[in-house]
Amino acid sequence: MDIGEAKRLAGIEAAKFINNGMKVGLGTGSTVKHTVIELGRRVNEDGLEIVGVPTSIATEKIANDVGIPLVQLSEIDGLDIVIDGADEYDSNFQLIKGGGAALLREKIVAQASDSMVVVADDRKRVTTLGAFPLPIEVTPFAHLATVRALSNVLDCSVIIRMDGDSPLITDNGNLIADAHTGPTISDPIEMEHEILKIAGVVQVGLFNDMCDAVVLAGANGVSTLYRSNGRLSS
């Protein structure tokens, strides 16, 4: 199966986790986009009654286009579920996210959710996290000092992500520093702790102990994997 078609089918499959009355975190990325589109179809054609909280301006636009009612996270008491993408995940369902530069909003939404489903293609499955450069959202103020501190703590190259000739600016007005650790992140919980000690760091794209299921797209179709002690495991 073409990987693009598999990603579309995986996005649609993930939408099956959503039922009437749910408050849903709407993630960001090329695969979960198909989930948002499918939820919009169900709202309009099947009468699905949900409210959504988007994790990025891009997702907010898609959700508005397909007719999903949106609310601010501050206006409600938590979320039932968030469906989002990932740049990598390991056998413990730990994630690297932030390739789309939305990691701060994504983590705020994930922490407010009762469960998390990730939609990904099988190229995102790794033995050890870190081949994908680890995104870290940092403040513009003294950002080069923050980059130096990150380089020292992580013992690797840390590079500010660019958008053409200028640094990429996140939806929250911050910068993204990509840490090129290589596939060495064997203890993502400890690494997250160490990175967050640095004052210029806003948030880091390690999503630990959050993901409960992965809807996986591959050449042979779509499969769903559940974390054994996760909130969605039976």
In this structure, the dihedral spanned by the alpha carbons of residues 219, 222, 228 and 234, taken in order and rounded to 10 degrees, is: -160
- Per annotation, catalytic residue among 106, 137, 190, 192: 106
Query: 224 near 215, Cβ under 8 Å?
Result: yes
106 has catalytic annotation: yes
- The DSSP secondary-structure symbol of 23 reads E
- Share of the chain residues as helix, strand and coil, in percent rounded to the nearest 5: 30, 30, 40
| Alpha helix segments (H runs only) across 24-95 | 32-41, 57-66
Instruction: Select from 54, 183, 152, 148 the least CA-distant residue to 109.
Output: 54
* CA-derived radius of gyration, the chain: 17
User: What whole-number distance in Å separates Cα of residue 107 and Cα of residue 211?
Assistant: 11
CB 178 within 8 A of CB 163: no
* Triad 147, 148, 150: Cα angle to 5°: 65
The catalytic site residues sit at 106
